[in-house]
Structure 1
């Protein structure tokens, strides 16, 4: 892993863990592949995935986004030798309980979200944390898909889905598009050209019908969408988690983060559920509105950001203007004071001159008078 990739992993780890001290207690990471959020040197860490290491390397052998040599050795896997799939709790409970469960880009894949959350709750200690990183459907290949609904989640749970349903497999295969995150944030419309042709979708559905695990995004969602799903599931009594954190998707990114806290088994569940629903309402209210038509929401966000930049610039300009005005007023006051001082100095000088001038002129007048008298005596006709 080069320095850039390592920095990206470190940043994601910081966002996902959000200060959680994983050195305390045992931790389980689900689906770590080649870039685990938790490394074994961070504490008592276990890994679980759908298949074992050999199966993972075979499955991702043609995936350019996964370095198969870096896929970590998993401790537990869900697929049994006979090809059937166990639940998460069945696979990992004997090694539990766990204080922390980390799931990066996992919850959107699970066939039965309710059962999965129940399994995680079963293997967590009271107050244990479930730390999530979830792709935002608006900024990835799910951009054309409708958001997952509570009804779909309940149906999957009612049907006891152990593999992604026909609905999930077909919708995923038929609607996926090449939609880079940068293009989405730039306000582009998702392309109409689908990633897989109809024949590919038909093949994937046939594989599902044969009982094979066809990996796909079962639950496309967003921050507000996940908050709404969890609020109903908690209130319906299906999920024993409170939600401490659901973040908005950061600009330029394609995922958001959540922290769920397992209810205490010794406390009244109805009280804890009411507290959790109230807390979720507050979290949801703080999330950006996602109801407006895409991509106008992005463009509105850009305009809002530009407005905020201009407002900050205006505030700085006004502050500089106030400083310059104050300096000008001080200079003007100093100039006016100097003028008043000069006028007073000139007035004092004129007053002194008025006092001194008579004293200077009297001797001169007497001298002139004497000279004139002498000249008069010297004129002809006078003796």
Structure 2
């Protein structure tokens, strides 16, 4: 029987009493982790609600579904916008977008109580359109911090656009970077991308991008680098490696002031990572994960069909046929 799947959204709040704790959620948009009716939560974003709705680009949701922004986080530090430090902060698929990662993490720390929790859901570059990109380096992070980036840099934007795996022809390039040459479709897009980023530079237009690229292992590497620089004021309470068939991993951080506990927590977190969490993942390993996910789905469908067939109600004959059809299609690979 397949193991029940636990979502990363559940994992980063499972040890918080959201009914009584005060929290912030960054970038909730139309799908908040904690709803207003569930707890004391304030929604933080880079722009007011009306601006977010104008630029909303999710085909499966309406702009009207975006939650109301309580705090607009711009030039001023986040801590100046809250009356007092909060118990927890949540951010799902946000950390990769911030231009200055070190500054962002430290601003969040200033808005947290001592011992407060920061819950992050982070895309794993091996299973997203960032698969071709190298994981972020400590030098990139230090540069962004010392230069005080408030918008994605030209390098960050160019790399994100140039190396994206959005087109089918590019999907065959191995995620571990081993290749006989650069795919033609990348070379073809470079000239137009160069003209585009030059215009961005000249106009100083804000362009969103994935500024940072992680795997679970590289996330811990970066935290260790930053801890050595005394620029990472968190213990790693728990890291949840990327599940088979998923594209992201989850991390729970605890706001602290000392550095020794931070180092110890990173080493403890490393022991929770399995061998497949190494930075390089071959196409064969990726295919193996996809097969595992396929098997889990097939087992779940078979169980549902068995439960349906055990019933004598005429009303369930249509769902039975639909489930059998879906099982047959998944087994044979037919659309």
TM-score interval (norm. to shorter): 0.7 to 0.9
> Residues 20-63 of structure 1: CA distance to partner in whole angstroms, max 9, x if unpaired?
22223310000001101111111111011111111111112x44
Aligned 1:349-368 pairs, distance under 5 A: none
Structure-2 residue corresponding to 1:74: 69
Aligned to 1:237: 230
Q: Per the alignment, do residues 302 and 13 of structure 1 end up closer, same or farther by CA in structure 2, a change over 3 Å counting?
A: closer
Cα distance in 2 between the residues matched to 1:100 and 1:201: 41
CA distance in 1, matches of 2:42, 2:167: 34
Q: 2:16 aligns with which of 5, 20, 23?
A: 20
- Tell me: CA distance 1:95–1:294, structure 2 relative to 1, closer, same or farther (3 Å): farther
* 237 and 16 in structure 1: CA distance in 2 versus 1, 3 angstrom threshold: same
Corresponding residue of 2:219: 226
Instruction: Choose from 261, 267, 270 the match for 1:275.
Output: 261
Paired residues of 1:204 and 1:214 also in contact (CA < 8 A) = no
1:128-170 Cα deviation digits (max 9, x unpaired): 0000001111111111111111111111101111111111111
Say if 1:230 and 1:195 are closer, same or farther in 2 by CA, change over 3 A: farther
CA shift in 2, pair 1:14/1:118, >3 Å: same
SS in structure 2 at match of 1:24: coil
Higher-helix-fraction structure: 1
C-alpha RMSD of matched pairs (Å): 3.1
Equivalent pairs, count: 279
| 1:312-365 Cα shifts (integer Å, max 9, x gaps) | xxxxxxxxxxxxxxxxxxxxxxxxxxxxxxxxxxxxxxxxxxxxxxxxxxxxxx
- What SS class does the counterpart of residue 18 from structure 1 fall into? coil
Query: Counterpart of 1:365?
Result: none
Equivalence for 1:38: 34
**Alpha-carbon spacing, 1:202–1:15, altered in 2? closer, same or farther (3 Å):** farther
* 1:285 alignment partner in structure 2: 271
Distance, in Å, in 2 between the alignment partners of 1:179 and 1:221 is 21
Aligned to 2:53: 57
SS of the equivalent of 2:271 reads helix
Report matched runs for 1:203-352 at 5 Å: 203-264=196-257, 269=258, 273-289=259-275, 290-298=278-286
**Distance in 2 separating the partners of 1:154 and 1:189:** 29
With over 3 angstroms needed to count, the CA separation of the structure-2 counterparts of 1:286 and 1:188, relative to structure 1, is farther
> Is residue 173–residue 201 contact of structure 1 (8 Å, CA) maintained in 2?
no
Q: Radius of gyration: which is bigger? A: 1
Deviation at 1:291, TM superposition (A): 4.1
Alpha-carbon offset, residue 11 of structure 1? 3.9
1:126-141 residue pairs with structure 2 within 5 A? 126-141=114-129
TM normalised by structure 1 equals 0.66
> 3-state DSSP class of the match of 2:96?
coil
Give the Å deviation of 1:263.
Answer: 0.6
- 1:22-171 alignment runs, 5 A limit: 22-60=18-56, 62-64=57-59, 66-79=61-74, 85-90=75-80, 92=81, 94-171=82-159
Q: Secondary structure of 2:231's match?
A: coil
Contact 2:216 2:249 in 1 (8 A): yes
Distance 1:134 1:16 in 2: 11
Mean alpha-carbon deviation: is it higher for 151-160 or for 63-72? 63-72
8 Å contact 1:109–1:217 — kept in the other structure? yes
Point out which structure has higher relative CO (alpha carbons under 8 A, 6+ apart): 2
- 153 and 235 in structure 1: CA distance in 2 versus 1, 3 angstrom threshold: same
Is the contact made by 2:9 and 2:121 (CA closer than 8 Å) also made in structure 1?
no
